[in-house]
Amino acid sequence: MGMTAVELGKAIKDGQVSVVQATQACLDSIEACEKDYNSFVTVDREGALAQAEEVQKKIDAGELSGPLAGVPIAIKDNMCQAGVQTSCSSKILSNFVPTYTAEAVVKLQEAGAVIVGHTNMDEFAMGSTTETSYFGETRNPWDINRVPGGSSGGSAAAVAGEEVTCALGSDTGGSIRQPASFCGVTGIKPTYGRVSRYGLIAYGSSLDQIGPLAKNVEDCATILEVISQYDKKDSTSVNRDDNDFTSALVDDVKGLKIGLPRDYFTEGLEPEIKEAVYGVAEALKAKGAIVEEFDLGMVEYAIPAYYIIASAEASSNLERFDGVKYGYRTSEYTDLHNMYKKSRSEGFGPEVKRRIMLGSFVLSSGYYDAYYVKALKAKALIKQAYDKAFEKYDIILGPVAPTTALKMGESLSDPIKMYLGDVYTVPVNLAGLPGISLPCGTDKDGMPIGVQMVGNAFEEKTIIRAAYAFEKTREYKRPAQVSERGL
């Protein structure tokens, strides 16, 4: 598990290790670490080993030869997998076993990856700390007294803690990039429509995107290449023929125009993070990139617009969880309406209820125009601001979060503070753009700092190229606890 996904795939292909051995090593690592991290909701031990044997047969027969063949991978607990509990880390779906598999997961399976389990997350992906899970909070492998970020905190922690080499997460307002930053790993949020959302349990349908979390840019590009395929089952899926992301893994940024938004480096950003991000700009400048500061605009409207739109979509999407067809149903009720109310009040956690109530409020007849319509207009203006910026720049460079990983419990006591922590990530989702987060240093407490590179729509190759070039200037750092385990 100390290898990258691509390194492990090559070792399997060369016969240095079998798929069963790799899967067993992964399962052993999960068993050893879970008491500290709680990264997983479900570990499918028997299913994973059975998959491993099948994949090995196909590799031996020459039917599978891709870079991910035989590599164990984890998926976030909001992606359906036939026959395996998929709960969105919520009590209301704690007994739900899907009959079909999410398209992105199917693509991984077709490439020979072995799905070992489902990672913990904020309930229904609502949160930035992975503390709202019905199955308990996940802890950061760099410091188990700190959060791993969210909502894909389980996936990020599992990769950083070397329980798996790579994982899938989903990003509605920064839920791949922020935990990647907090856990010192790399994560890509693709352009909206690049990866099929079929089988992803929806939070905000116009914002959600599936993407990879891994140790480096090469792994992320390799996984993204596998899962980015047109899917007629998803009406928002875009048919593209430029999914060869590994071709962008070149250490060359000469002439690349990089913009640093002044709006991102104002009050509220920790000085160490500001210094680290400027350090990335200097490193890319030294390799031939052109770096300029500019005014992006509309940044102050991103948080209110995002939380109105996401909550409105959540209140609609979560209406289906009523205890009738599937999921949790209260044991005692008097009539149908009482059953609805009790099942939902007992099944959903506080943060999910908060967002359902907010969403129902902004969609109500008296407030629809005042809030929801205005939020949609703000979303359009944010997209225009990015369009204008990309007329001049190839990449927008900035921080991922205003702070490094917070201590457990610090955010839950103040939800507004937690919402404001998404200020650098949510505009990217509102505009439907691709973004990558990768490590660029540590703070005074030794916690990882991430840098975010944002590209124009469907320009994943540009951000992968820049991220790969920067990554070449530094070594991957493991959490001290992982190094001490001697994996």
Which is catalytic among the residues 76, 107, 215, 379? Answer: 76
pLDDT digits (tens, 9 = 90+) for 92-133: 999 999 999 999 999 999 999 999 999 999 999 999 999 999
Q: CA of 259: how far to CAs of 280, 366, 396, 398, in Å?
A: 12, 41, 5, 9
Task: Please determine, for residue 196, whether its predicted confidence score (pLDDT) is greater than 50.
Answer: yes
Structure token digits, residue 245: 């992301």
Structure token digits, residue 146: 């700190």
For position 297, what pLDDT does the model report? 87
Looking from the CA of 132 toward its CB, the CA atoms found within 13 Å total 28
Residue 486: pLDDT band (50, 70, 90) is low
* Buried b or exposed e, range 400-420, using 16+ CB within 10 angstroms: bbbbbbbebebbbeeeeebbe
In the predicted model, what is the mean pLDDT of residues 17-27? Answer: 98
Looking from the CA of 160 toward its CB, the CA atoms found within 13 Å total 37
Task: Please determine, for residue 487, whether its predicted confidence score (pLDDT) is greater than 70.
Answer: no
Which is catalytic among the residues 90, 151, 196, 343? Answer: 151
Residue 266: pLDDT band (50, 70, 90) is confident
Let me know if 76 is a catalytic residue.
yes
The one-letter amino acid code at 172 reads: T
pLDDT digits (tens, 9 = 90+) for 199-241: 999 999 999 999 999 999 999 999 999 999 999 999 999 999 9
CA distance 33 to 30: 5
Asked whether the bond before 237 is cis by omega within 30 degrees of 0, the reply is no
State percent of the chain over pLDDT 90: 94
Phi, psi of 284 (to 5 degrees): -70, -35
Query: Cβ(120)–Cβ(153) under 8 Å?
Result: yes
Q: In what order do the strands lie in the sheet with 114-119?
A: 40-43, 114-119, 72-76, 166-171, 209-214, 186-189, 435-442, 448-455, 395-399, 257-261, 290-294
Alpha helix segments (H runs only) across 40-160: 45-60, 103-110, 153-160
CA distance 3 to 22: 11
Which is catalytic among the residues 18, 39, 89, 175? Answer: 175
For position 207, what pLDDT does the model report? 97
For position 6, what pLDDT does the model report? 98
pLDDT digits (tens, 9 = 90+) for 443-465: 999 999 999 999 999 999 999 99
- What is the 8-class DSSP label of residue 122? S
Let me know if 151 is a catalytic residue.
yes
In the predicted model, what is the mean pLDDT of residues 27-42? Answer: 97
- Predicted TM-score (pTM) of this structure: 0.96
* Buried b or exposed e, range 18-50, using 16+ CB within 10 angstroms: bbbebbbbbbebbeebbeebbbbbbbbeebbbe
CA distance 108 to 45: 18
